[in-house]
Amino acid sequence: MKKDVDSDIIERLDKREKKIISQFGKIKKGYVGSIVLGINDALIEITGILAGLTFALQNSKIIVVAGLISGISAALSMSASEYLLTKAEVANYKKDIIRKNPTIAAFYTGIFYFLTVLFLIFPYTIFVNAYYALVWGLLNAIIVIFGFTYYISIEKGMSFKHRFFETFAISFSVALISFIFGYLIKNFFGIDV
């Protein structure tokens, strides 16, 4: 009799433990979207900003300062937007949707945005030649795109190749367009740094 009671208790504890572990995994996965939002938005925006500033200013120190100011402002803006979005999602909460904490979602978005900004700006702190820094920054962008695309494709069971080239094309199209605008704006205002 005692063996049956003990095995019953062990079985219930084992089920409860598996349920808790399952819920923990769901909670972590619930914030992947916030992390991806921060990384992807930083890639597109900051790569474009750095490309435009590189051609317009051609001064690595000024580009670092302008890139950091833009990156910090954008990270805070993205955090605030993610907070408000998540709060709205929680208000419309349904049982089949993982409930996220708006503050934690905002934190993940902002922190990963800012870390991506630092990774993209880093080459400008090493190279005096802004064009060399831009090339290294673009290589850093490819590394980030590869890393998070690989993770997402495994996590969601999606095609890595398709997602990688789609993200790459979008990010680098924005960078190219920004580079062209940097050239046009530089010439329009007659900036010679």
Are 55 and 185 in contact by the 8 Å Cβ rule? The answer is no
For residue 178, name the pLDDT band (cuts at 50, 70, 90): confident
pLDDT: which is higher, 162 or 117? 117
pLDDT: which is higher, 18 or 91? 91
Residue whose token pair is 């999606």: 158
Q: Tens of pLDDT along 118-174?
A: 999 999 999 999 999 999 999 999 999 999 888 888 877 888 998 899 888 988 888
70 Cβ contact partners less than 8 Å away, ≥ 6 residues apart: 45, 46, 49
89 Cβ contact partners less than 8 Å away, ≥ 6 residues apart: 97, 100
Q: Tell me the two tokens of residue 123.
A: 């080459």
Q: What is the 3-state secondary structure (H, E, C) of the chain?
A: CHHHHHHHHHHHHHHHHHHHHHHHHHHHHHCHHHHHHHHHHHHHHHHHHHHHHHHHHCCHHHHHHHHHHHHHHHHHHHHHHHHHHHHHHHHCCCCCCCCCCHHHHHHHHHHHHHHHHHHHHHHHHHCCCHHHHHHHHHHHHHHHHHHHHHHHHHHHCCCHHHHHHHHHHHHHHHHHHHHHHHHHHHHHHCCCC
Domain extents for the chain? 32-189
Residue whose token pair is 């590394």: 143
Please report the pLDDT score of residue 24 as a whole number.
Answer: 46
Read off the pTM.
0.77
On the question of pLDDT at 116 being above 70, the answer is yes
Q: Tens of pLDDT along 35-69?
A: 988 998 999 899 989 988 998 889 999 999 999 99
Question: Whose CA is closest to 111, among 150, 82, 133?
Answer: 82
Please report the pLDDT score of residue 106 as a whole number.
Answer: 95
Q: Tens of pLDDT along 71-115?
A: 999 999 999 999 999 888 876 765 545 678 899 999 999 999 999
